[in-house]
Amino acid sequence: MKREAVFSKSPRPEGSLSHAPAQADVKASMVASSAASPQAPVAPTKKLFPSLRWDFAAVFLLGALVSLLAVGLLSPAFQIKPALTQKDIDAAVLHTLQTKELPSQSAKAAASVQGAVVHVQAYVADPKNKDVDKESGVGTGVVIKDDGTILTNFHVVSGAKRLKVTFFDGTESDATVIGVQADKDLAVIKPQKIPDDLEPAVLGSSQQLSPGDGVVAVGFPFGIGPSVSSGVVSGLNRQFRSPDGNQTLSGLIQFDAAANPGNSGGPLVNMSGEVVGIVTAILNPTSSRTFIGIGFATTIESAGSAVGLPPF
């Protein structure tokens, strides 16, 4: 009598043995052989497609990485922008000029030197009271060295018993004359004390000036100031004869920025904020001594040589 195969508990279709006797014999012999040998441990059931999870994870990570790169490259922060052209720059400048109020060049030039401009007051003995000093004149000076050395006009300090200078921050100090060049109407004075944060003016070159170039004059006209006036260079290498005819100055800068008594010794400044001259005189055919449109300044080269500064 044949034993029932035990590797499958599913029912057999009727008549299967009659149709495949050879196959039944083989199965029976397999069962018999299995029964005769020791029982082998049952291997755990293998999962269907065990490598599928790893393949799917790799594909997912690769896709995510490609997506991030695409978003990064397409975002504005990572996009490669085309190089600016001159047309783009011109358009940007034009837009700024049309929509923004730009600072005045004259204001910038004056601001760059204003901290170095000083008010100069000259005193003489009062003829009625020798113990009292009487103000004899006012003028302007400009600091040209870190130690407080000031350049001004000779006619501002000439004949003075005492000099007093007032700095931009209100600091007052007595000053002494340390050098003069009367034929160029120039004098150098030195204050006894200076502000801690004093900065000298930047000296430029008058050789770069042309008629029509913008300039500003900074000073104390009639003792009021510091005051700023703007204009242009009217001419170069001009001459001026003093009203009494005793002095002639040459090689002067002619300008039309307003200047009046008290501006003498103050700086004439170009649009870069550099001192290019020292205001010296005004021309007025009348006796009023007021400005009518023609002023003169000694070139800073001439002034520098007068006080022993190196050439510019």
CATH number of the domain at 274, please: 2.40.10.10
Active site residue 155: yes
- Given 106, 185, 256, 302, which residue is catalytic? 185
Whether 42 is covered by a domain: the verdict is no
Domain of 293 in residue numbering reads as 206-306
Least confident of 10-24, 225-239, 264-278, 293-307: 10-24
Phi, psi (rounded to 5 degrees) for 107: -65, -40
pLDDT of residue 54: 53
Rounded to whole angstroms, how far apart are CA atoms 101 and 236? 33
Task: Give the tens place of pLDDT for each residue, 221-238.
Answer: 999 999 999 999 999 999
Same domain, 216 and 265: yes
pLDDT tens per residue across span 16-34? 444 444 444 444 444 444 4
Catalytic site residue 95?
no
Among 146, 167, 191, give the residue marking a domain's end: 191
Burial of 124 (0-12, 13-18, 19+ CB in 10 A): middle
3-state class (DSSP) for residue 221: helix
Q: Is 18 a catalytic residue?
A: no
Indicate if 212 and 292 belong to the same structural domain: yes
Same domain, 137 and 223: no
Closest CA to 299 of 290, 282, 284, 312: 312
Q: List the structure tokens of 139.
A: 């003028």
Q: Is residue 230 part of a domain?
A: yes
Tell me: the pLDDT tens digits for 47-76?
544 554 556 666 666 776 666 665 555 555
What's the confidence (pLDDT) of residue 96? 83
Which tops the pLDDT comparison, 95 or 13? 95
Domain assignment present for residue 105? The answer is no
Which of 106, 112, 119, 155 is flagged as catalytic?
Answer: 155
Q: Are residues 300 and 211 in the same domain?
A: yes
Q: Are residues 216 and 264 in the same domain?
A: yes
Instruction: Tell me which of 166, 191, 216 is where a domain ends.
Output: 191
Residue 89, helix vs strand vs coil: helix
Q: Are 66 and 74 in contact (CB under 8 A)?
A: no
- Residue whose entry in the numeric block shows the structure tokens 């931009």: 168
Instruction: Evaluate if residue 6 carries a pLDDT over 60.
Output: no
Other Cβ atoms within 10 Å of 164 Cβ, number: 18
Q: Where among 133, 168, 191 does a domain terminate?
A: 191
Beta bridge pairs of residue 187: 152, 180
Task: Please give the structure tokens belonging to residue 54.
Answer: 């790893």
Please check whether residue 169 is in contact with residue 305, taking contact to mean a CB–CB distance below 8 angstroms. no
What is the number of domains present in the chain?
2
Instruction: Say whether both 268 and 294 belong to one domain.
Output: yes
pLDDT recorded at residue 7: 42
Distance separating alpha carbons of residues 270 and 286, to the nearest angstrom: 30
Is the residue at 87 inside a domain? no
27 inside domain? no
pLDDT given at position 71:
56
Tokens of 43: 């291997």
Residues 112, 230, 264, 302: which is the catalytic one? 264
User: Distance between CA 219 and CA 259 in Å, rounded?
Assistant: 8
From 127-136, 225-234, 272-281, 292-301, the region with the lowest mean pLDDT: 127-136
Q: Is residue 118 domain-shared with residue 181, that is, in the same domain?
A: yes
- Amino acid symbol at 160: A
Structural contact between residues 250 and 303, judged by C-beta atoms closer than 8 angstroms: no
